[in-house]
């Protein structure tokens, strides 16, 4: 990948104190389950995340689901097990924050905060995150223009935190063939016109695990600074987003494809 010399670099700290940079030219991979479901499943997934060479572990604790009857995540009950897995594997951890009141309670556990698509317009949450010193991965709302997305980033920046990563995760268009439409044009545009590091989440974009690897390669080709991938030891049994979750063997294949190019 050609290094965009303008890209602002974001320092990520590993649990052992060592550091690496996002936006310095490598394609950083964030991987893990959509939701943390149990210690056993999370640990098994995290072991493959680590051994395959991905650098950041993901796992949803507070889930915002379209239906209030769907699994809402384990919430606070899983903070401790997530902490144990993160420390055992030595990987930095990212999780979605859904309420300003979680900033404090997640401060030890989360090394990066994820703002989900449904909260991109939650300006109270964005302003609160602007007062923290953690990197923020800001997902694009599924019907946001690029300008609205940049506006959301500026709410965070205005409070003093400029460690922002934009993450394209597919938008809602007239075409409902796939879960969403992956807007790689927006990624190329943001790389050309802004200094934000830009990630792509092909999992939520397409909703089908067989299409995740080709879209991840496309994201890398267009200059993404990283990708976010959902994976699960037994995706058909996953409590959320199973159809788009890679098996652990597919996660290894994806990492080979990304690391080799
Ligand atoms: C997720 O990453 O699990 C998620 C809910 O993503 P999004 O906010 O993009 O729908
Ligand atoms: Mn998900």
Model confidence over 10-39: pLDDT tens digits? 999 999 999 999 999 999 999 999 999 999
Distances in Å between the Cα of 170 and the Cα atoms of 83, 89, 148 are 30, 30, 15
* E strand residue ranges, 62-181: 93-96, 112-115, 136-139, 164-168
Q: Is 181 helix (H, G, I), strand (E, B) or coil?
A: strand
Q: Give pLDDT, residue 1.
A: 46
Across residues 242-251, what is the average pLDDT? 98
Say whether pLDDT at 143 is over 80. yes
Give residue 33 CA to ligand 2 midpoint distance, Å. 8
89 lines ligand 1 (CB under 6 A): no
62 lines ligand 1 (CB under 6 A): no
117 lines ligand 1 (CB under 6 A): yes
Q: Give pLDDT, residue 45.
A: 98
**Nearest C-alpha to atom 1 of ligand 1 is from which residue?**
34
Global pTM value: 0.97
């Amino acid at each position: 990948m050609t290094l965009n010399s303008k890209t602002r670099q974001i320092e990520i700290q590993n649990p052992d104190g060592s550091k690496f940079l996002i936006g310095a030219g490598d394609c950083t991979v964030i991987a893990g389950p959509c939701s943390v479901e149990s210690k056993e499943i999370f640990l098994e997934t995290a072991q493959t995340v680590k051994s395959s060479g991905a650098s950041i572990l993901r796992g949803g604790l507070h889930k915002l689901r379209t239906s209030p009857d769907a699994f809402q995540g384990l919430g606070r009950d899983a903070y401790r097990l997530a902490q144990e897995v993160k420390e055992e594997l030595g990987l930095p951890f990212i999780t979605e924050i859904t309420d300003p009141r979680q900033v404090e309670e997640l401060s030890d556990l989360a090394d990066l905060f994820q703002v989900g698509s449904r909260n991109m317009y939650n300006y109270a949450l964005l302003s609160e995150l602007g007062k923290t010193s953690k990197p923020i991965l800001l997902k694009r709302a599924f019907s946001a223009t690029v300008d609205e997305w940049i506006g959301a980033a500026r709410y965070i920046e205005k409070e003093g935190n400029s460690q922002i990563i934009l993450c394209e995760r597919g938008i809602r268009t007239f075409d409902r063939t796939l879960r969403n439409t992956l807007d790689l044009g927006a990624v190329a545009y943001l790389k050309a016109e802004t200094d934000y590091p830009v990630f792509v989440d092909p999992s939520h974009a397409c909703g089908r695990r067989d299409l995740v690897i080709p879209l991840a390669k496309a994201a890398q080709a267009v200059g993404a600074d990283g990708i976010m991938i959902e994976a699960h030891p037994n995706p058909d049994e996953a409590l959320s987003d199973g159809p788009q979750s890679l098996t652990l063997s597919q996660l290894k294949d994806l990492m080979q494809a990304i690391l080799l190019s």
